[in-house]
Amino acid sequence: MTAITFDTHEYIKELKAVGFTEEQAEVQAKTLSSIFKTNLDELATRRDLKELELATRSDLRQLELKLEAKIAESKAETIKWLFGVATGQAMFIIAILKMFPSH
């Protein structure tokens, strides 16, 4: 990772060269340094983004596995239900045929 630095000493020298007092230059350098540090601490690095990508992929894979398991469970329940209905229909047809013998 490339470190971003702010050379306060060089900045103070430049400000003094254009007429700032030592005190003014130091206050401005300190303030800018603080602003840069605060803002840079909030930036996401490539490493942060890569970790987020890997975590997201992992979460998606876990969701896929759960969904696949839920689909398989639903299929099994549907097959059981259909088998029960088919058995009931067959029994109903047999009962009707026994009620009305064909002689």
Residues 64-97: pLDDT tens digits?
Answer: 999 999 999 999 999 999 999 999 999 999 999 8
Contact 25, 15 (CB under 8 A): yes
% residues pLDDT > 90 (the chain): 71
Look at 52 and 100; give whichever has higher pLDDT.
52
Give pTM, 2 decimals: 0.49
- Burial of 59-69, coded b for 16+ CB within 10 Å and e otherwise, reads eeeeeeeeeee
CA distance 39 to 19: 28
Model pLDDT, residue 100: 86
Is pLDDT above 80 for 4?
A: no
Look at 54 and 97; give whichever has higher pLDDT.
54
